[in-house]
Chain A
Amino acid sequence: MTLVGWLQIGLILGLVALTARPLGLYMARVFSGERTLLSPLLGSTERIFYWLAGVEPDHEQGWLAYTSSMLVFSATGFASLYAILRLQAYLPFNPRHFANIPPDLAFNTAISFLTNTNWQAYSGETSMSNFTQMAGLTVHNFLSAATGVALAIAVTRAFARHNAATLGNFWVDITRATLYVFLPFSLLIAVTFIATGVPQTLAGSVDAVTLEGARQVIALGPVASQEAIKQFGTNGGGFFNANAAHPFENPNALANLLQIWALLAVPFGLLVTFGKMVGSEKQGWALFKIAGLVLVGAVVIVYAAESFGNPLLTHLGLDPSGGNMEGKETRFGIALSSLYAVATTATSCGGVNAMMDSFAPLGGLVPMFLMQLGLITPGGVGSGLYGLIVFAIITVFIGGLMVGRTPEFLGKKIESREVKLAILAVLILPLAILGFSAVAAVLPSALASLGNNGPHGLSEILYAYTSAAGNNGSAFAGLNANTPWWNVTTGIAMVLGRFGYVVPVMAMAGSIAAKKKVQASLGTLPTDGGLFVGLMIGVILIVGGLQFLPALALGPMVEHFLMLAGKTF
């Protein structure tokens, strides 16, 4: 670790902290239906959309109708994306004449983009046409992000309202999220990306003749427009196979700065939005501190592990001062690769600027653990906020048990029904991750996909299901995930992680919205102070993390000690 490295990390995180409040307050205005700077420009488009869709913007929905709208919208998106993938050979903008995508891969990819996971079992530049990338994948980059934010705003309203039967209108929330938040920022980010060297063209590729006379085919495409929403919507599905490590997605350190800012901006900003909408900005900042502290702690460990270099290579004579450079790009170095790895797994982005599979054992453990905590530090756009609220409820419940009082959060009494639903949601992750991993670890057809032997092979399996169930999308990419087993099981894990999680959370929100707000008394545990911040971090690490420790001990931890002992596989 170097001081210069920390300065780079500090600059990016400082920018995220600086922009969180203005962005968060802007989003609070957007989702409260207030006028914003962009209303004169977009108001008429918004009204035309509602009119064509038959949506009455003032008609609010209860939790069940809101959730049903979300599920129907997601199912429609799945059907349309699946069709585009299966039929891309007959569709326009296919300059390289890519074939239709086979059924299992199309199933996996459609679910992946619909659930904001953006797990990629395909290689973009060798299989997806420009039409698929734009009208298929880019669209769901926007809409899955808007869906996540809409759900989080609905849960937020549950705490903001008294005795309420409704949580808002799903159609209005996704429309406003897309028109007022994701689209305008994506325009600005995309133009900046292009200026730094990200291509934006309808050409499929260009041929070069190298200085040595060899032919080099350079894949191109409308990269910048997808890259912008990929980051800003914490989607993470790259245009190219190598994702944001590809020089066309992320050409230099400045582009990298924008990449990391863009993927952290909305998840952190939404914590401010939450505080504003529930009438306690301080509560939003408490969640901000919880997420920020875990994230910074994770950066320290990853940066230290990667700076140390690979002792097995140092032994061969490599200068360890360069750090562990296998699977990393020269222009980012160790500091910016470590920060990216943490930022992308602390959110549900899942884009990578270095190959996670080649990280040091402990450097790869931390991203996996961050996802297993439930992707809540600060998590994906929207999904991170409602995940944090679930953990806040579990924390006040545990705090209430310790002192023997009825737990409250933001003036709402937390009772048995809410706690049961919160726990039900939290249990989905270990079920999907450990359940599928246990089967895959003994199934020969699953094991044939492994790219590494020894404990690192187990890490590849664990990472795959962790990433899928957490709706993250990054990978230990040595695993060949494009087989029927992996396409189908990771697809199911993604569905469980998104919908199996959010349906109980929405039911919980419905029951909380219906409660009256009680005044805080002397017996109320304050939920916006340092004590709560510390308690909640503890609950996240123990309730969220403990169940995964045995599996992690057999994978990355044992690999770390075997590496120090000089063992290879």
Chain B
Amino acid sequence: MLAHIRPAVVLLSLFTLLTGLAYPLAMTGIASTLFPWQAGGSLIQRDGKVVGSAVIGQNFVSAKYFHPRPSATSATDPKDPSKTIAAPYNADNSSGSNLGATSKALIDRVKAGIKVGRAEGWRGPLPADALTTSASGLDPDISPQYALLQAPVVAKARGLDAARLRNLVIAEIQKPWMGFFGEPRVNVLKLNLALDALK
């Protein structure tokens, strides 16, 4: 058995140095040279301040902005650390709802979401992503259908022409790679930045 211990300990130590320190630190060095923006989290700045990441969703509640999908992320309750509270788009604690297809909690949540959406002014068919939570709770994108569903609501809140907002949404649609790979989508943060830049 002793004959096995020396190679086990020595190789584990050497591979810890090689794959656990040299490799990730070398990658960090290469990344900061070749792709510094991506390596640092694809951060978007406006007026010199970080307003979010291009690939991470953030919460929007005001009618003046396009809303992302519902999010199931949570945070520690500041009043009682043993409990958690809902905290949509908490990029410090990614999570899905993990509700199954026959979950009553899922059905009730969607029902409530439809009610709120219709009251806000959603007209027409309801795209699936508008009422379902994403796997990470940090989905940065929505479907073009969901963005278009919201366009009249945002137009009204901002006092803008609905057709103009429709065109803005269409301009912000990211098409699949080579026309077929991936899904057509709209990045909510980028859309809202474009919206703020209108006038």
Decide whether A and B assemble into one complex.
yes
Task: Enumerate chain A interface residues (CB-CB to B < 8 A).
Answer: 4, 7-8, 11, 49, 52-55, 68-69, 72-73, 75-77, 80, 123, 125-126, 134-136, 138-139, 142-143, 171, 174-175, 178, 183, 186-187, 190-191, 194-203, 205-212, 214, 216-220, 222, 224-226, 229, 240-242, 245-248, 251-254, 256-257, 309-310, 312-313, 316-333, 336, 352-355, 357-361, 364, 451-456, 459, 476-478, 559, 562-563, 567-569
Q: Are B12 and A357 in contact (CB-based, < 8 A)?
A: no
Q: Which 4 A-B pairs have the closest CB atoms?
A: A253-B182, A322-B128, A478-B98, A245-B135
Chain A residue at minimal CB-CB distance from B183 = A333
Q: Are B110 and A316 in contact (CB-based, < 8 A)?
A: yes
* A242 and B136 in contact, given A253-B182, A355-B96 (Cβ under 8 angstroms): yes
* A190 and B27 in contact, given A142-B15, A201-B32, A218-B53 (Cβ under 8 angstroms): yes
A224 to B39, CA, bound (A): 9
Chain B residues with CB under 8 Å of A360's CB are 101
Q: B50 within 8 Å of A by Cβ?
A: yes
A546 to B103, CA, bound (A): 28
Q: Are B114 and A200 in contact (CB-based, < 8 A)?
A: no
Chain A residues with CB under 8 Å of B40's CB are 199, 201, 203, 206, 220
A225 to B139, CA, bound (A): 22
A197 to B50, CA, bound (A): 17
Among B35, B126, B134, max chain A CB count under 10 A is at B134
Beyond A216-B56, A220-B40, A324-B101, 14 additional pairs, beta carbon < 8 A: A69-B4, A73-B11, A123-B95, A143-B15, A200-B31, A216-B89, A241-B94, A245-B134, A247-B136, A319-B145, A320-B128, A354-B135, A456-B102, A569-B102
A126 to B141, CA, bound (A): 24
Chain B residues with CB under 8 Å of A242's CB are 94-96, 135-138
Nearest CB on A from B199, distance (A):
15
Which of B6, B131, B139, B183 meets A313, CB within 8 Å?
A: B131
Q: Are B15 and A199 in contact (CB-based, < 8 A)?
A: no
Q: B14 within 8 Å of A by Cβ?
A: yes
* A247 and B102 in contact, given A53-B10, A76-B12, A211-B65 (Cβ under 8 angstroms): no
Q: Are A326 and B10 in contact (CB-based, < 8 A)?
A: no
A to B CB contacts below 8 Å, 28 in the list: A7-B180, A7-B181, A125-B93, A135-B20, A139-B12, A142-B19, A178-B19, A194-B35, A197-B42, A199-B42, A200-B31, A209-B51, A222-B27, A241-B94, A248-B55, A318-B110, A318-B126, A318-B127, A322-B145, A328-B134, A329-B139, A330-B134, A331-B185, A355-B135, A358-B98, A477-B98, A559-B101, A569-B104
Nearest CB on B from A228, distance (A):
8
Q: Are B132 and A246 in contact (CB-based, < 8 A)?
A: no
Q: B85 within 8 Å of A by Cβ?
A: no
Chain A residues with CB under 8 Å of B90's CB are 216-217
Q: B100 within 8 Å of A by Cβ?
A: yes
Nearest CB on B from A49, distance (A):
6
Q: B80 within 8 Å of A by Cβ?
A: no
A77 to B11, CA, bound (A): 10
Chain A residue at minimal CB-CB distance from B182 = A253
Q: Are B183 and A331 in contact (CB-based, < 8 A)?
A: yes
Among A73, A209, A248, A325, max chain B CB count under 10 A is at A325
Among B23, B25, B136, max chain A CB count under 10 A is at B136
Chain B residue at minimal CB-CB distance from A179 = B18
Chain B residues with CB under 8 Å of A321's CB are 128
Chain B residues with CB under 8 Å of A178's CB are 15, 18-19
Residues 45-86 of B contacting A (Cβ, < 8 Å): 49-62, 65, 69
Among B1, B49, B99, max chain A CB count under 10 A is at B99
* A219 and B10 in contact, given A186-B23, A197-B38 (Cβ under 8 angstroms): no
* A199 and B39 in contact, given A4-B180, A208-B52 (Cβ under 8 angstroms): yes
Q: B9 within 8 Å of A by Cβ?
A: yes
Q: Are A194 and B38 in contact (CB-based, < 8 A)?
A: yes
* A248 and B41 in contact, given A358-B97, A559-B101 (Cβ under 8 angstroms): yes
* A358 and B38 in contact, given A53-B6, A76-B12, A309-B128 (Cβ under 8 angstroms): no
A187 to B12, CA, bound (A): 20
Chain A residues with CB under 8 Å of B91's CB are 216-219
A325 to B132, CA, bound (A): 6
Q: Are B97 and A327 in contact (CB-based, < 8 A)?
A: yes
Nearest CB on B from A334, distance (A):
9
* Chain A proximity mask over B165-180: 1 for CB below 8 Å, otherwise 0: 0000000000011001
Which of B4, B11, B69, B94 meets A246, CB within 8 Å?
A: B94
Nearest CB on B from A560, distance (A):
9
Chain B residue at minimal CB-CB distance from A312 = B107
Chain B residues with CB under 8 Å of A11's CB are 181
Nearest CB on B from A265, distance (A):
18
Chain B residues with CB under 8 Å of A210's CB are 51-52, 58-60
Nearest CB on A from B42, distance (A):
5
Q: Are B55 and A251 in contact (CB-based, < 8 A)?
A: yes
Q: Are B107 and A327 in contact (CB-based, < 8 A)?
A: no
Q: Are B11 and A171 in contact (CB-based, < 8 A)?
A: yes
Chain A residues with CB under 8 Å of B192's CB are 211
Q: Are B20 and A134 in contact (CB-based, < 8 A)?
A: yes
Chain A residue at minimal CB-CB distance from B96 = A355
Q: B125 within 8 Å of A by Cβ?
A: yes
